[in-house]
Amino acid sequence: MQIAFLIYEGLTSLDIIGPYEVLARMPETDVRFVAVEAGELRVDTGAFGITVDHSLDDVPQPEVFVIPGGLQGTFAAARDERILAWVRGAHAHSRFSTSVCTGSLILGAAGLLQGLMATTHWAAKAMLEQHGATYSEQRVVRAGKIVTAAGVSSGIDMALYLAGELAGAETAKAIQLAIEYDPQPPYDAGSPAKAGEAAVQRALKELTRAL
């Protein structure tokens, strides 16, 4: 099974590495990192690059594709007609078309979320709804073959769900064990409701520091 992970300049690393680390462990999986052109692309902090072997043209019909989010990089990607055309073409043939965090804004810009329930990073709800989607607070939202996940780390949960659908629950559980995904965060601040307003304001400040 061919699975494509879209890389673009300025993406948020964990958005793509979380799902990749789960889905690449399914048996007989052909993992392809793709970008408009093959080569090195820098992540949102600029701290390192990801080198990609495949152009979008190389991988037109993956069975599954994952679109990560980011900040400015995502807004630029959502205006890039080469990316939007690839997303529409890939979606026409996919088993699952998926996004993590503000990656859903790229699905939305491609016109795929009109009238659907979907999710995104909690801070991007209004932007998501501008694409005709209805925002859901669920961590992983499925609407037909479109699966969207909430902010950054939620892609791990989404990918375990997808692994279960694609390869069965026993395989998904073995993958969860292989990556020892037994989360025990030292705080309980993973959603706006749990974290409270002061943390929301701090997080917004952190998220937009680079803008």
Nearest distance from residue 204's CB to a copy of itself, in Å? 8
Instruction: Give 144 or 185: the residue with its C-beta nearer to a copy of itself.
Output: 185
Pair 7, 34: CB distance under 8 Å: yes
In the block, residue with structure tokens 């495949």: 54
Instruction: Tell me whether residue 101 is one of the annotated catalytic residues.
Output: yes
Token code pair at residue 48:
């390192």
Nearest distance from residue 111's CB to a copy of itself, in Å? 25
Residues 34, 41, 64, 101: which is the catalytic one? 101
Token code pair at residue 120:
């995104």
Instruction: Give 92 or 204: the residue with its C-beta nearer to a copy of itself.
Output: 204
Instruction: Give 97 or 119: the residue with its C-beta nearer to a copy of itself.
Output: 119
Q: Whole-angstrom Cα distance, residue 196 to residue 189? A: 8
Instruction: Give 18 or 62: the residue with its C-beta nearer to a copy of itself.
Output: 18
Pair 5, 65: CB distance under 8 Å: yes
Pair 43, 13: CB distance under 8 Å: yes
How far lies 149's CA from each of 48, 51, 133, 143, in Å? Answer: 25, 24, 14, 12
Q: Provide the annotated active-site residues.
A: 101
